[in-house]
Amino acid sequence: MLRFTLQRILATIPVLFIVAVIVFMILHLSPGDPAAIIAGDNATERDLEQIRQSLGLDKTLFEQFAIWLGNVVQGDLGYSFFQRKPVAELIFQRLEPTASLALGTLMLAVLIAVPLGTIGGWRMGGWLDRFLTCFSVAGFVLPVFVTGYILIYVFSVKLEWLPIQGYHRLEGWKDVLPWISRLLLPWLALGMIYVALIARITRASVSEALTEDFVRTARSKGLSEMVVLTRHALPNAAVPIVTIIGIGFASLISGVVVTETVFAIPGLGSLTVDAVLNRDFPVVQGLVLFFGFAYVFINLLVDLSYILIDPRIRY
């Protein structure tokens, strides 16, 4: 297993390199000049040239990429063109809101979707199974921003139960309730997609596991349906469920960007939007590398978890 883990970690290097090259070329070849945005409308050509020299934009694309890549290898993601701060520092400052949103969404989705999918797979064709099917379709069809605005209108504007936008940092126990109140609507808005996705996969996996011989054997021994579901069917259906949770992480990254914009959460998503609009190359490249590494790392954890879920799997 150690060899497999090292191979997977080393495999991330060419993946991140290819992603970095693609993002670098797209950003630098697209229309727009960061120097013109920084200088403003009244800047002269000489002012623009000085800004380009100070930012290193007067060099060739190959030279700019080589300098940036060399700094990344040394752990330096560069400096923001606009905020004049290290990119790593900006990412670290915005990491808490995004991590709170992403982890809370996944936990909420798993806690809701797995029981729903398990019961739906157990009672195929029942009223709960039909409700699950309709809910899954709605979860896939409605975009995150539409769900977010509906939740804001109902629970914040009409009922006035929850804050509309913003984020409250979690610094102690006294901040738990304000922290939850600010994130509950974003969790629900972003979680609908994952509840629908995980519930459908859980339903299909559990229904298939219930047709296996070991389930019939367990029932013939007189075990209750709850024991059959929780101790026999669900553990053997866990591999596809865990897999879809890991795959869903890619969608979660894109969903975080939209959700943070709708709810004015100062996380990595809003930082990405601002950096793209301002053509802040170092910030965009650093964020893409960070998201790429996080995605590969999550999938590595998912692969390694198969050993714990199913002892028959060996690497």
Summarised one tens digit per residue, pLDDT across range 254-268 is: 668 888 888 888 888
Nearest to 144 by CA among 84, 194, 179: 194
At residue 32, the pLDDT reads 64
Regions of the chain with pLDDT less than 50: none
The contacts of residue 242 (CB under 8 Å, 6+ apart) are 302, 305, 306, 309
pLDDT at position 281, please?
78
| Residue 86 β-bridge partners | 79
215 burial (CB, 10 Å; 0-12 / 13-18 / 19+) is middle
Domain range 94-309, its CATH number among 3.40.640.10, 1.10.760.10, 1.10.730.10, 1.10.3720.10: 1.10.3720.10
Its pTM surpasses 0.75: yes
Distance from C-alpha of 199 to C-alpha of 303, rounded to nearest angstrom: 21
Report the pLDDT value the prediction gives residue 315, as an integer from 0 to 100. Answer: 56
Domain with CATH 1.10.3720.10 in the chain: 94-309
What does the radius of gyration of the chain's CA atoms come to, in whole angstroms? 24
pLDDT at 282: 81
The pLDDT value given to residue 239: 81
Amino acid at 302: V
pLDDT given at position 33:
63
